[in-house]
Structure 1
Amino acid sequence: MATPTIADAMQSKRAMGGLATLSAAQFLIALDFSVIFVALPSMGSDLRLSESAMQWVVSAYAVFFAGFLVVGGRVADRLGARNMFVAALLLFGIASLVGGFAGEASLLLVARAAQGVAAATMQPAILALVNTTFPAGAARTRALAVWGTVGASGLAAGVVIGGLLTTVSWRWTFFVNLPFALVCMLAAPKVLPRAREGRAVVRLNVLSAVLCTGTVLSTTLGLTMAADSGWGHPVTLVSFAVAAVFLVLFVLRERSSAQPLVEPALRTTRTLLAGCGSSALYMASVAATEFYLVTLLLQQQRGFGPLEAGIAFLPLPVCITLGNMIAGRLIGPLGVRRTLTLAFLIGATGLALLGLQINADGYVAGMLPGLVVSGIGHGMTYTSMFVGGTRDVADDNQGVAGALMTTTQYAGGALGVACLVLVLGPAPDLDRFMMGFLLAAVVAVAGAVLAWTGFSRAGDTQVQAEGNLADAQVTATTVKGEA
């Protein structure tokens, strides 16, 4: 029986160390997303923030995160994903330090916006590094499942840690990011791969980058203002008008440029387009609904306090983690098409349960079944759509591909929340919440239809064959080294 060579063992150990580092960084992004919600009331009281300012503590991060994703992905592909990963961690750490010491609303909002920019450059770099470290097939699927599982645990940790840290001071919800950022920065040069030697360095198309960022920033701002102030608010309308102008100019620039921001090959990659559509419908249905509607339902209708609401949320991220693990096991034998379709249908079932049981007495009878089922569907969807959406993308474009999927994901989430605000109205009752959950279930069913039609069985078969070939090559290399 052949045994691995020392070189093989070192390479495998380094890859696992790299995956652990990337997963820890994803944990940091997820933690920062959820930890802030519980701290908002204390933050608002301490700094005398208005309701609008408190909303923008969340929105400043989301708008700049979505706005800079595509540019961050392209820069990562151009300059090297590892370089961007380290730079993003440094910016994230500095922004967290500034936010923790902020004594006024303006500085706090600047810090949150800087965190959004840092996360926007870190997220595509993480995805690019995972997808270039592990070959397409079983190895990459397992790696993405681990990455998604750790991210889900960050969401769970955030709601609990946020409640605990806020009892000391809301400022610790910023300071808690620093150890994660420091450890990942120190580990990155040792365990993450460098950019390939001899790789051509192509200059960034600055004008396209500005137009793309302006388009996404304006669109996200418009959707955020629609949820906060209404679709007819002047700022909402102006934001959408500016976004339309930027979009037209961006398309014209991309068509005429010799160095487009988004490579022409990506625009015609069917699996990437299906992945982007799936990520938008995923966030508009399962993800946005679970966090937005459930949070409001627990605190406004059920009378839960912040820490109680955080504890009540725990079954959700636990089931999301379970769903990630299930997807990692099912994608191999079933393929992305069947797994993602099943995931959306499970999520739709959970959302329908939350809506139909809205009048049931108690948390266990009224909410827990829906949270469990929708959480499993949520986790399965997250892993499956990233495996399928990036599987046919070349290594040099993995950063942009991941950024495009994440951008459409957050745009879908902003649109979903804006629509749910309309459904709930100014004084929502239980019937309105039921309508919101059922609407989200319909969107999840649409995601299942897209998954079934957008991903082909032939593509699944090809990836499985490539994964088997990669495993065979590893085995052959080991045997050769032993000989």
Structure 2
Amino acid sequence: MFRKAESSPATTLAVVAVVQFMVSLDLSVVNVGLPQIASGLGFSATGVTWVIHAYALTFGGLLLLGGKASDRYGRKQLLLTGLALFGLASLIGGFAQEPGHLVAARAAQGIGAAMLAPGALALLATTFPGGRARVRAFGVWSATNAAGGALGVLIGGVLTQYASWRWVMFVNVPMATVAFALAAGGVAASAKTVRRGRPDVLGAVLATAGMTTLVFGVVRTDRHAWGSPTTLITLALAALLLAAFILVERTTRREPLVRLGLFANRSVSGANAYNLLVGAAMASSFYFMSLYLQRVLDIGPALTGVMFLPFALGVVVGSVLAIKLGYHVSAKRLLIGGALLTAIGFAWFGQISADGRFLTDVLGPSIIASIGFGLCLGPLVATATTDVAPEETGTASGLLNSSRQLGASLGLAALGTAAHDHTGDLITPETLNSGYARGLTLCAVVLLVAVLIAATSLKRQPARSDA
């Protein structure tokens, strides 16, 4: 279908970096525009969060299937198909006229991202199997990944204020086009694994339906108490769907979506548990700080985006430090230290006030939290793909991406609801500030749990100084 391409490690790294920047950017580029999206299309205060949930849920829920498909049908094939779908969904979403239109487009974006992200990460893992080159490659990946998330806030703010919120969707179209051209001409087709059976589509449906129902139940606690019949029934249905997913994976005659034995690998299971919590804390913190700057301090979207620049730069600094330290310090220690540093930054964020100042309420904690976050990213991905068979690298990569996106959606649902409850029915800058501060403090607590998981669950991998 595609012409044969000659690929070098440097070309592969460049393609993966562009793809990951785009996927990561799309998680945060809409955050600053949420108030304008809500007023422009008529979303409710809590309903607008589904602009984020729709993307994160389909992305996270289908990543396992995407990872399996990349191993089965070829990583380049899935990468190009995902880029085409992602770009088309972005274009359609920019022309949305009703809330349902935009939510559907975001869901389609998530499906496209679920196709391309595992293939890209698996290409990186197989192209750089070990040594110093692997440390550098995952350092570059982590920097572009984090920069996309952080710069997305700046890009979204500028586009929202000086163009329209619709451009937070349109901006993906040229990036997807460029990434498609780079991948088509610069990445060689990967070998396909032997097909042992048909893919487990039912498992993917059950996983996505279960997580969607779970998040929906948590989000609705702003209207229905945790102990209400509505909430209890919704959460019970979610548990039933997820239990059915596990049963299907254990008994299916098709090729399982994820081999449950993969979780016996401590690096895989520990890294994914850690990643789920980090995803929950980071997505929620971006959401709270974006709304704090706009709704409490009354700062415009463009300037709000500028104020996130120190965070983006700090993540890049942390990623570079992780490369340097990765030659001499184990990944486990970097994960513990990075999460601790980020937790300190979020605890500082939790001290925001209704008359806050940029230097003390934004800049200071941004520097600490972002450097810590940058220290985590590269070692986390390297750990999650350690000791994984080559034919399962796509699945392991999809699993890691899935845990992050599902963590982001669940974290935003749970912590957003907690912040909303703390705010109360009387909406003033002071009450909003109180709710956002509570949410940011809870982000720090979540990261401390991640530290505990890294300390107790991950085995210590040797540093790469002898590579």
User: Is TM (by shorter chain) over 0.5?
Assistant: yes
C-alpha separation in 1, matches of 2:38 and 2:204: 35
1:449 aligns with 2:452: yes
1:270 aligns with 2:238: no
Post-superposition offset of 1:50: 4.2
Please give the residue correspondences for 1:412-423 in structure 2 after superposition, counting only pairs within 5 Å: 412-417=407-412, 418-423=414-419
Structure 2 residue aligned with 1:120: 114
Structure 2 residue aligned with 1:28: 22
Post-superposition offset of 1:53: 4.7
1:295 aligns with 2:297: no
Structure 1 residue aligned with 2:33: 39
Larger radius of gyration: 1
Post-superposition offset of 1:82: 1.3
Maintained 8 Å contact 1:99/1:107: yes
Maintained 8 Å contact 1:66/1:220: no
Provide, for residues 144-194 of structure 1, a one-character-per-residue CA deviation record: whole Å limited to 9, x for no partner. Answer: 111121122222332222233232233222222111111211221332232
Aligned AA (1:116) = G
Maintained 8 Å contact 1:63/1:221: no
C-alpha separation in 1, matches of 2:277 and 2:387: 21
Post-superposition offset of 1:433: 4.4
Structure 2 residue aligned with 1:403: 398
TM-score, reference length from structure 1: 0.86
Q: CA, structure 1 residues 197+312, in 2 after alignment: closer, same or farther (shift >3 Å)?
A: closer
Aligned AA (1:460) = P
C-alpha separation in 2, matches of 1:408 and 1:456: 19
TM-score, reference length from structure 2: 0.88
1:391 aligns with 2:386: yes
1:154 aligns with 2:148: yes
Aligned AA (2:291) = L
Provide, for residues 436-473 of structure 1, a one-character-per-residue CA deviation record: whole Å limited to 9, x for no partner. Answer: 4333323222222221222223x326xx48x72xxxxx
Q: CA, structure 1 residues 235+393, in 2 after alignment: closer, same or farther (shift >3 Å)?
A: farther
Greater helix content? 1
Post-superposition offset of 1:85: 0.7
Residue 361 of structure 2: which of 357, 366, 374 is its match?
366
Q: CA, structure 1 residues 68+236, in 2 after alignment: closer, same or farther (shift >3 Å)?
A: farther
Q: CA, structure 1 residues 349+169, in 2 after alignment: closer, same or farther (shift >3 Å)?
A: closer
Q: Residue 333 of structure 1: SS of its match in structure 2?
A: coil
Post-superposition offset of 1:263: 1.6
Maintained 8 Å contact 1:145/1:328: yes
Maintained 8 Å contact 1:15/1:191: no
Maintained 8 Å contact 2:121/2:397: yes
Provide, for residues 330-358 of structure 1, a one-character-per-residue CA deviation record: whole Å limited to 9, x for no partner. Answer: 12210111111111111122122223465
Segment of structure 1 superposing worse, 221-230 or 289-298:
221-230
Q: Residue 41 of structure 1: SS of its match in structure 2?
A: helix
Aligned AA (1:272) = V
Aligned length: 453
Structure 1 residue aligned with 2:423: 426
Structure 1 residue aligned with 2:139: 145
Structure 2 residue aligned with 1:478: none
Residue 441 of structure 2: which of 438, 442, 458 is its match?
438
Any gaps of 5 or more consecutive residues in structure 2?
425-430
Q: CA, structure 1 residues 297+105, in 2 after alignment: closer, same or farther (shift >3 Å)?
A: closer
Please give the residue correspondences for 1:98-109 in structure 2 after superposition, counting only pairs within 5 Å: 98-109=92-103
Structure 1 residue aligned with 2:428: none
C-alpha separation in 2, matches of 1:232 and 1:134: 50
Segment of structure 1 superposing worse, 350-359 or 27-36:
350-359
1:282 aligns with 2:285: no
Structure 1 residue aligned with 2:306: 311
Structure 2 residue aligned with 1:322: 317
Q: CA, structure 1 residues 191+232, in 2 after alignment: closer, same or farther (shift >3 Å)?
A: farther
Post-superposition offset of 1:372: 0.6
Aligned AA (2:299) = F
Maintained 8 Å contact 1:67/1:220: no
1:338 aligns with 2:333: yes
1:186 aligns with 2:189: no
Aligned AA (1:332) = Y
Post-superposition offset of 1:274: 0.6
Residue 209 of structure 1: which of 181, 204, 218 is its match?
204
Structure 2 residue aligned with 1:460: 462
Aligned AA (2:257) = L
Q: CA, structure 1 residues 431+52, in 2 after alignment: closer, same or farther (shift >3 Å)?
A: closer
Residue 261 of structure 1: which of 253, 257, 260 is its match?
257
C-alpha separation in 1, matches of 2:436 and 2:38: 27
CA RMSD of superposed structures (Å): 2.7
C-alpha separation in 2, matches of 1:197 and 1:62: 28
Provide, for residues 301-331 of structure 1, a one-character-per-residue CA deviation record: whole Å limited to 9, x for no partner. Answer: 3222222221111111211121112112212
C-alpha separation in 1, matches of 2:45 and 2:361: 30
C-alpha separation in 1, matches of 2:157 and 2:230: 34
Post-superposition offset of 1:80: 1.4
Maintained 8 Å contact 1:133/1:193: no
Aligned AA (1:83) = Q
Any gaps of 5 or more consecutive residues in structure 1?
1-9, 469-483
C-alpha separation in 2, matches of 1:297 and 1:415: 21
C-alpha separation in 2, matches of 1:76 and 1:334: 32
Segment of structure 1 superposing worse, 447-456 or 74-83:
447-456
Maintained 8 Å contact 1:350/1:371: yes
Maintained 8 Å contact 2:266/2:459: no
Segment of structure 1 superposing worse, 44-53 or 251-260:
44-53
